[in-house]
Amino acid sequence: MKKLTGALVAALFMGSMGLALADDMSPKDRLENQHDRIQQGVDNGTISKKEHRKLAKQGRKINRERKRDLRKDGGKLDKSDRRKLEHQENKRSNEISNDKHN
């Protein structure tokens, strides 16, 4: 029972650290992290080629939008652009998770 409790506490701690780190990551860093997660899923067979194409297309779209916003705002994202990109990245992250675990 102690081992199970310890494992659960460790998992919750790591999960909360991941959320905290996601807030500190730049949109570009998050896209790279998501790309790595997708590649892991492809490598271990939990993400199909069709899912990979869909997720890659979403990533390219988000990255193009990020670059366009950076050019528009003189090299720095304003709050509304950052919030919009974070929402898109959160949605994509959930899709990656769903594809890997379903």
Residue 45 DSSP class: T
pLDDT at 99: 87
Q: Is 2 or 40 the better-scoring residue by pLDDT? A: 40
43: closest CA among 35, 21, 72?
Answer: 35
Predicted confidence (pLDDT) at residue 53 exceeds the cutoff of 70? yes
Mean pLDDT (the chain) is: 82
Q: Cα–Cα distance between 88 and 34 in angstroms, integer? A: 12
Predicted confidence (pLDDT) at residue 62 exceeds the cutoff of 70? yes
Output the pTM of the full model. 0.67
The predicted model gives 13-30 an average pLDDT of: 64
Q: Is 21 or 92 the better-scoring residue by pLDDT? A: 92
Q: Which of 13-17, 27-31, 43-47, 49-53 has the lowest mean pLDDT?
A: 13-17
Provide CB contacts within 8 A for 65, sequence distance 6+.
Answer: 84, 85, 88
pLDDT at 20: 47
Provide CB contacts within 8 A for 93, sequence distance 6+.
Answer: 30, 34, 37
Read off the pLDDT of residues 65-91 as tens digits, 9 standing for 90 and up: 999 999 998 988 899 999 999 999 999
